Amino acid sequence: MSKNRELIRKWGSRYIKYNVIGIAVFLLNIVIYVIIFPFLGEWSYVVVSMNGGIMEFTLIAYINKTKKGVIFDSCTPINGT
């Protein structure tokens, strides 16, 4: 039971981290969109979308400390240990 509790705690903390990243990127991109919309018009959406994807992947990779954008580990080890 202790192992399951630890996995749930680990999963829950990661879930919260990645939701905080997502909300922060979303709010920042809203601000960027409002600032650049008068200059770029409808193209602002494309710029903000690309910016959001890059920022979110970068922050998730930084949090994971890997080059992959993996959010959750599997509950069972791959090598069986």
pLDDT of residue 37: 93
Q: What residues have CB less than 8 Å from 17, skipping those under 6 apart?
A: 63
Residue 76 domain-assigned? Answer: no
For the chain, what is the domain count? Answer: 1
The verdict on residue 72 lying in a domain is no
Write out the residue range of the structural domain in which residue 11 sits: 2-64
The pLDDT of residue 34 is: 95
Radius of gyration over every alpha carbon of the chain, rounded to an integer in angstroms: 17
Residue 28 covered by a domain: yes
pLDDT in tens, 25-57: 999 999 999 999 999 999 999 999 999 999 988
Q: What is the pLDDT of residue 36?
A: 94
Q: Within a domain: residue 70? A: no
Whether 79 is in a domain gets the answer: no
Asked whether the beta carbons of 37 and 14 are under 8 A apart, the reply is no
Residue 39, domain member (yes or no) = yes
CB 61 within 8 A of CB 67: yes
